[in-house]
Every structure is written in C-alpha cells, then in structure tokens.
Amino acid sequence: MKFKEDQPSDETLDLVCRMCPLHLMEPGDRLKCMKKGQVLEVLTDYDGALEDIPEWCRKHGQEFIGLEEDDDCYKLYIKKTK
Amino acid sequence: MYTDKVMDHFSNPRNAGVIENADGIGEVGNPVCGDMMAFYIKVKDDKLDDVKFQTFGCVAAIAVSSIVSEMAKGKSLKEAKLITKKTVTESLDGLPKEKMHCSNLGAEALAKAIKDYETKISE
Amino acid sequence: MNLIYMDHASATPVREQVIKAMVPYFDLQFGNPSAVYDMGFNIKQVIEEQRAHVARLIGAKANEIIFASSGAEANNLAIKGVALAGQKKGKHIIISAIEHHSVLNSARFLERMDFEVTFLPVDEHGLVDPERLAKVIRPETILVSVMHANNEIGTIQAISELSSICREKGVIFHTDAVASVGNIPVDVNVLGVDLLSLSGISLGAPKGTGALYFKKNIRLMPLIHGGIQEMGRRGGTENVPGIVGLGKASELAANEISAKKDQLQKLRELLVSGIQEKIKKVTLTGHPDKRLPGHASFCIEAIEGEALIYMLNQDGIYSNTGSACASKALKTSPVLVAIGVPPDLAQGSVVFTMNNNSVQEVRYVLEKLASAVEKLRSLSPIWREKTA
C-alpha cells in the first residue's frame, strides 16, 4: 500500500456513500474526460476500493499514485497515463 | 368510509334544533377537540315528549346526534337511559374505528340532559 | 351530475399524452434497463431522455436527477440521505414547522438516532423569517429543509433568501417542491437550493413517481441499497413506464406553465372574493398574494371540515380539509396551529386546489359551499352562541 500526503490533484470524484461497483465504474468515465498526466482524486468510504482501485489501474494501464486516509473517507490518487 | 345509515342521518338530520324552555339540557365535548353536542329535552309523564340537538362536528358526530334523538323521542326516561355508545353504533350499522371515541358522544349528551332534568325536579 | 374536482394538491389526472407515451413500456418495451442486449440498452437511453426532461423543467442538469417512487421518497432520501452521509460533520438539522409529514417524520426518525432537530416557527402567513434561520444555524448544522410551497395553506416561501444564508454558512439546503413544481415556474438556480423534491402527482404524471434534484457535490446515503441503478443512489429495477410518464409530463409542463399561472390566479381570485362575499366569518389561511395560483384555503367558523367535505361531495364537489394526506387523522392540523389559527377555528378548514377548472365551476362551488355552510351552521351549537 502506497501512502501519499498532500498529493495535488486536478479533479475530485466523490464516491462516499456509493456502493460497489460504482468505485470501479465512475473513475474510468471521469478519466476519459481528463488530459494525459492529470491526477484524479477519488474519495470513498468503501475499504474494498483500497485493493480494487490499484488493481483496476494495473489492468487499465493507469498509474496508481497512492492513498491518504482522511477523517471520513479514503483519498485515492490516479494519474492518467493513457 | 361511512355506512348508508350514517350518510342518511348526516344528510337529513332528524330533530335538529333547540327547544326553548327545555326541561333538561346536556352538553358534551368542546369545539377545540372538533366535536361538541347539545341535547335539549321536553319531558311529559316521565316520557321524552320532545328531543332536539345541536352538533358541531364531523359526519359521524352529526349522524350520532340525529339517531340518538330519534331513538330517544317518545321513550320513557328509564328506557332512554339504556341508550349507549354500543346501541347507537349498532343502529348506525357501525362507525369507523377512529370515530368511536371522539364523535360518539350522543348517548352521553342525552344522559346529561336527563340528569339535568332530574336534578331540576328534585330541587 | 357533473363532477367538479378541486383537490389537485392530492392528485392530478394523468394526461392523455402521458398515458400514450407510457403504454409501450408495459409490453413492447418491457425489458430490464440493466440488460445489455438492444432492448435493455434502448430503454436505458429512454430513461436518460426522461431525466433530461425532468431536469429541464427545473433548470437542472440531467445527471443531477434521481428518480424516486414519490415526493415522499424524494424527501426521505434528501433528509435521511444527507444527514446519514454528513453525520461526522455534525448532527443538527433545521426544518420549518409546516413541513410535509415525509420531511417531518424523517427528521423525527433522525432524532431517534441522536440527531438534534430545530423546528423553525413561521409567521401568521406561514413564512419563515430569514433572520431567524440565520440565528439558529450552528457549527454542527448540516442541513436545512424548508418547503417551497405549502400544500395546505398555499404559501410560497422566499426560498432564495433562505438558501443564500445557508450557502454563506456552508449548510446544505433542501426544499420540498412537491406542491409547486407543475403549478409555478421552478428553477433550482434561481432558488439556489442544493436539493429539491418533486412529485408526479402535481404534474399530471402517474402516482408512484417522483424525483430528487441534488447538486453534484452533495453526498447522499442511499435508502434503497441495491444495484447500480440511478448511479448507485437508488437500487431496484427502474419503474420504466412511470419514469416515461414523469418525463413526458415534465416536458409538457415546461412549455405550458407560465400561461397556466395567470388563468389559475383568476379562478382563485374569483373563488376567494366570492367566498368572502357570500359567507360570514371566514378566514383565508396562508399568504394573500405569495401563494400558489390555484390554491385557496379557508377556515370557516363554527363548522367542522370533514362534515363540509362530505356535504360538498353530495353536490359533486371534491375538495379537502386540513393536510391532503392526513385528513383522516383526528388531530388538529399542525400547519394551522403553526400559523396561529385557534384550534376550534382550525376544525373548519377547507382547501380548494384548482387546475383545469372553469369559471362556471367556481360559481357552482360558491353557491353550494354557501348553502352547505348555512346548513351545518344551523346545526351548530357554537354558531348559535356566536350569533346570540
């Protein structure tokens, strides 16, 4: 697990209170609208996402930068690489 | 929601009105609760020679008053005292459950009017 | 006997074009929108088109609309959904004293879960005082809900003033617009709200339909957990015919609403002035001007509302007393109590909500209402006291 503090991001996707499998559907959609090299911050309170999102990034050729634990959610960072 | 009998008494109330110089008056309920009834009686030879009522209230309250006046009129005081919530409800072929407590005050108002009369003559 | 329907706050007839639009989605296009084959995919597209129609009616974007089963569900989702999602930030919510039961009882439910609820009083016309709202907001306040128009007294609230106070203080603002959407132009941007509930029953759409508008950044805990329908915010296979009905009705309403307002206002003025002329001791409840165009509500002294409704019913007139959804409850209307109507006067409440009514109908109602009131007053012991 890669932890990152104060990671800057270009866009935020708030998935708090949203159930599985939304955390695997919405980041892909959002990344499509972003530019190469930009960073997407994903907020989620679902701990399954901690495994799923890095795995999803590997499968889809995006870079998983790391995560930070916040008061009420996790923040996961994905860099658009393609 | 209401039986035909209830609707009949509501639409054509029997004995509605006031008896001037009534021998007994009975009032129950109050407008804040939504139901209030006043019964007026005229007594002759221990019988209810005339019965009239006034009612502020819902369909059930008006129908109850009407049928109580009809049931009581011409009866002896003793017989009239046997009119209860239960016999009133039966005569109307039933009342909705939520109307049983607040609106079924007719028998009580009549009893109060009879008591008023009895108190007056014993004085 | 012709039927005169003046209870449009309770339900509106489903329009012919709306029924026509719905029909194919019962049999020909019956598939599950989540299915990946053509029929499923096509229906999914149709749902998204309806979302856009509903959004357009209230000036929103399509992805800000969640379909629900009623205005009550939309209100539940707004109140509970925001509160449960935001409880780490604070557990205080504020609602007005004249909210619909679906907002009121959602708040009461949250009270049992250790939330604190402040009930904002209203003035004699049913208006919330913005200064008062500003005073009761605390650091732990997470949600304020004030209804746009009240179904019982017709008063339209100054929502944009209230919402701007909340925006300044970073508090989420919801409005229940079930009574207003379909009757007056409603724009979420003008109102400045974060969430807004609407219902098909006010729009000529079928019962069992409604929607919640929510701004994209609002966190909502779903009430119905399930699949990915409604972006994961409301599980369960979509009510496709209902959604099509709501969408079509919204599309029609968006084009008609401004013209309808003037016509309804004329009918209302005729009814209000006629009643005040023909019947003694009658009070118009709610605001005299800031009210729904087709909404006229009164308290009539010395009679009881239910008896009056039944009597009008015998003349072929459908109207309502007290809250449209609570007329069987025996308690005095909390809305009328909140605007300071004395409890005995509150018993004589009658509400007329007009839509496609005519001047002739209004005249007929005036005539029959006057004689029904006269008849009930002739039976009433308190009327005698008043006139003696």
Largest Cα span, chain A = 32
Residue C331 has pLDDT above 70, yes or no: no
Q: Do chains C and A touch (3 or more CB pairs under 8 A)?
A: yes
Residue C63 pLDDT exceeds 50: yes
- pLDDT above 50 for C111: yes
Percentage of the residues of chain C whose pLDDT score is greater than 70: 96
Cβ contact (<8 Å) for A17 and C221? yes
Predicted confidence band of residue C385 (pLDDT cuts 50, 70, 90): low
pLDDT score of C343 more than 90: no
- Note if the pTM is more than 0.80: yes
> Which residues of C fall within a CB distance of 8 Å from B63?
none
Neighbours of chain B (3+ CB pairs under 8 A): C
Classify residue A39: in a domain, yes or no: yes
Q: Which one, of A14, A53, A30, A67, lies nearest residue C233 by Cα?
A: A14
DSSP for C112-161 reads HTT-EEEEEPB-TTSPBPHHHHHHH--TTEEEEE--SB-TTT-BBP-HHH
Q: What is the pLDDT of residue C388?
A: 56
Q: Identify the structural domains of chain C with CATH numbers, from first to last.
A: 4-10+257-387 (3.90.1150.10), 16-253 (3.40.640.10)
Number of domains in chain A: 1
In the annotation, is B102 catalytic? Answer: yes
Would you say residue A23 lies in a domain? yes
* Distance from C-alpha of C129 to C-alpha of A25, rounded to nearest angstrom: 44
Report if residue A1 sits inside a domain. no
Q: Residue C325 pLDDT more than 70?
A: no
Residue C151 pLDDT grade (very low, low, confident, very high; cuts 50, 70, 90): very high
Chain B: residue nearest C341 by CA? B32
Say if CB B88 and CB B37 are below 8 A apart: no
Q: Any idea what the CATH number is for the domain that residue A59 is in? A: 3.30.110.40
pLDDT digits (tens, 9 = 90+) for B46-92: 999 999 999 999 999 999 999 999 999 999 999 999 999 999 999 99
Domain membership of residue B57 as a residue range: 4-122
Per-residue pLDDT tens digits for C344-365: 899 999 999 999 999 999 999 9
- pLDDT value of position C322: 72
Q: What is the mean pLDDT of chain C?
A: 94
Of C230, C238, C237, C235, residue with least CA distance to C214: C230
Q: Please state, as a whole number, how many other Cβ atoms lie within 10 Å of the Cβ of residue C307.
A: 27
- pLDDT one-digit tens code per residue, A8-59: 999 999 999 998 889 999 999 999 999 999 999 999 999 999 999 999 999 9
> By mean pLDDT, which of B40-44, C201-205, C236-240, C380-384 is the weakest?
C380-384
Q: Which residues of C touch A71 (CB under 8 A)?
A: 88
Confidence of residue C284 (pLDDT cuts 50, 70, 90): very high
Q: What is the CATH number of the domain that holds B37?
A: 3.90.1010.10
Range of the domain at A59: 11-79
ipTM of the complex: 0.91
> Is position A67 within any domain?
yes
- Res C328: pLDDT: 46
Give the separation between CA C76 and CA B79, rounded to whole angstroms: 56
CA distances B29 to B59, B61, C22, Å, are 15, 11, 52
In a domain, A4, yes or no: no
The answer as to whether A3 is a domain residue is no
pLDDT at C264 over 90: yes
Contacts of C184 (CB under 8 A, 6+ apart): C149, C156, C257, C261, C292, C293
- Examine residue A53 and state whether it is found in any structural domain, yes or no: yes
Residue of B nearest to C373 (CA): B56
Quick one: pLDDT at residue C387?
63
| Domain total of chain B | 1
The string of DSSP letters for C158-174 reads -HHHHHHHHHHHT-EEE
What percent of chain B shows pLDDT beyond 70?
A: 99
Nearest to C96 by CA among C143, C59, C34, C31: C143
Contacts of B32 in chain C (CB under 8 A): 332, 343-344
Confidence of residue C1 (pLDDT cuts 50, 70, 90): low
Please list, residue by residue across B80-97, b when 16 or more beta carbons sit within 10 angstroms of its beta carbon and e when fewer do. beebebeebbebbeebee
